[in-house]
Amino acid sequence: MAVRLPAAFVERMQHLLGDEFDSFMKSYDSAPHAGIRVNTLKASVKEFQRLTPFELTAIPWCPSGFYVPYGTKPGLHPYYHAGIYYIQEPSAMAPAELLGVKPGDRVLDLCAAPGGKSTQIAAKLEGQGVLVTNDISADRTKALAKNIELYGVRNAVVLNETPQKIADAFPNYFDKILIDAPCSGEGMFRKDEDMIKQWETHSVERCVLMQRDILQTAASLLAPGGTIVYSTCTFAPEENESMIGEFLQAHPDFRVIPVGPELGFRPGRPDWLQGMAGTDDLSDQVKEQLTGTGRLWPHVIEGEGHYAAVLQQVIDPDTAADVNASLLTSESAFEESVSIMDSSLAVQTEPGNRERKSSRRSERLKREPGGRTADHGHRHKSKEGGRRGQPPAADPLEVYRQFVSVELRLTLPGETVMYGDRIYQCPVDPRRLDGLKVVRPGWFTGNIKNGRFVPSHPLAAALHPEEAVRTVNLLSGNGEAVRYLKGETLAVTADSVQCKGNVSPKGYVLVCIDGYAAGWGKWLDGMLRNEYPAGWRWTSV
Ligand SMILES: C[S@@+](CC[C@H](N)C(=O)[O-])C[C@H]1O[C@@H](n2cnc3c(N)ncnc32)[C@H](O)[C@@H]1O
């Protein structure tokens, strides 16, 4: 066996698994399974199957997920840089599938970095509804924000907060919540030997404390009748059945929705809680429900070890009316508690993505992502006149609106907000974000610089070719796409720039790779100036 497992872990698994132990241990002799998941915000599964350069085998529990042969390097293909697929461990695709997300849902991914499951949820939302994606680690939220942008998500807010602060801002707000909990990572020992090293420091006991805290808070974030999926990538029953048993005992209004064997899950093991400290008071009914939680085992399925529980709040029809009434009152209280802002300058909102209860359209304070207010109380105001003798400075939001109407063919979703010189489309009422550490208040569409709107890379990454008035298509097979991704200027004839309507080729061009948006270029006189951001460039040879 190539993997050197900790002795205490092996001893515990032998005790728990009994007859199955040998087959479990044998799984460490084979290579871990590698997977990719098609980003259906950009390409349909069928399209991807047509154009894929990889040998694909379907993953049974994820319709957009595929095994690729071990040793394949999907990170070294232009499609990866165009956000057409996400590289994800196959078992890790299961929790977001179990969440049952539908377009229009309000979804919270509480422990989200680096964003594998968030990008999966975003694809299921199809741009409708809201994804609030959060991680407590400021450092890890950088990768999270980058992935949200690379995968073309238009309706996400990225936070770097404690669950309690989010619960204060969004009480009873979310239809679906994913808790992909920090855990001791035993299920990943085969895939990532670093997890073995971390096992001592991220001890089961330490993880249990974090998980309990997160799970307890999650219930107050959930809208009536909503669903929570709790998942870990560990085998330890303390972090799995015990944690869910404790939650169910404290929340009799929740029940487990059984995860089916058809997805490869084996039943949860309440019998492993016998004699475990803190589990004595679990009722028989709770223990019975724990068998409906699921475990993915590396010796049973083609994937690493995982655990998942689907928890649904059950609303008693007699009390449902009271709950709804009290929620309406709390929404009104939210409306009244926020300060009134200017009412005239909101650029565009789309009804589907607005808060369910109407809110005042307003131009937003300039704020800086990270929750550190940039404006210190200054509101953005359009200038009524310049200095004497100078033309009045253009209203930045008007400049933005002009760019969108001339250069793009799309209706902007959500509410336009400005933080400093940065413009975002925010999918929630922005007042809810006051006082939170906000990494991205929405889709970052561009900056105002010297009175001009400069479109951002995340704007390009989320566009479909038909939404830009100028496009150029590079082919992945002839080296051109890689040269673009490396930041090179390309010679492009005017005829190669596809223009809609009467626009000339000169100006911002959406650069596509085999028909999928990858970034901006600026065309002038036969040359395409590269606007692919330095920090995102292809660095491999
Ligand atoms: C298993 S990882 C998440 C992986 C992620 N869901 C994905 O699919 O890419 C767990 C994450 O929980 C975060 N975390 C730990 N404690 C947290 C807390 N109290 N609140 C929110 N996030 C927390 C960690 O920083 C870590 O990024």
Q: How far is CA 330 from CA 162, 172, 176, 368, in A?
A: 22, 9, 19, 27
Higher pLDDT, 319 or 3: 3
Structure tokens at 87: 């590289």
Best CATH choice for the domain 463-536 from the list 2.40.70.10, 2.30.130.60, 1.10.540.10, 2.30.29.30: 2.30.130.60
Q: Which helix (H) or strand (E) covers residue 335, if one does?
A: helix 317-337
Residue 142 Cβ contacting ligand 1 at under 6 Å: no
Q: Is 135 known to sit in a ligand binding site? A: yes
The predicted structure's pLDDT at residue 278: 85
Cβ(87) – ligand 1 distance below 6 Å: no
Q: What is the interface pTM, i.e. ipTM, of the complex?
A: 0.99
Tell me: pLDDT of 108 over 50.
yes
CB-ligand 1 contact for 531 (6 Å cutoff): no
Angle at 177 between CA 174 and CA 183, to 5 degrees: 150
**Residue 332 confidence (pLDDT) above 70:** no
| Residue 135 CB less than 6 A away from ligand 1 | yes
Query: Separation of 95 CA from ligand 1 center, angstroms?
Result: 14
Question: Which residues are within 8 A (CB) of 252 and not within 5 positions of it... i.e. 6 or more apart?
Answer: none
For residues 3 and 28, is the Cβ–Cβ distance under 8 A? yes
140 lines ligand 1 (CB under 6 A): yes
**Residue nearest (by alpha carbon) to ligand 1 atom 13:** 111
On whether 264 is known to bind a ligand per the annotation, the reply is: no
Look at residue 227 and give its three-state secondary structure.
strand
Long-range contacts of 99-103 (CB under 8 A, 24+ apart): 99/176, 99/178, 99/227, 99/229, 99/310, 100/176, 100/227, 101/125, 101/176, 103/127, 103/128, 103/129
Cα of 130 from ligand 1 centre, angstroms: 19
Is 113 annotated in a binding site? The answer is yes
Mean pLDDT of the chain: 88
Beta bridge partners of 229: 178, 310
Mutate to test the pocket of ligand 1, among 135, 162, 206 (most ligand atoms within 8 A of CB): 135
The CA distance from 46 to 67, in Å, is: 16
Task: Report the alpha-carbon distance of residue 222 to residue 21 in Å, rounded.
Answer: 39
Q: What is the pTM of this model?
A: 0.90
Residue 519: pLDDT over 70 = yes
pLDDT in tens, 405-433: 999 999 999 999 999 999 999 999 999 99
Rg (CA), the chain: 25
192 is in an annotated binding site: no
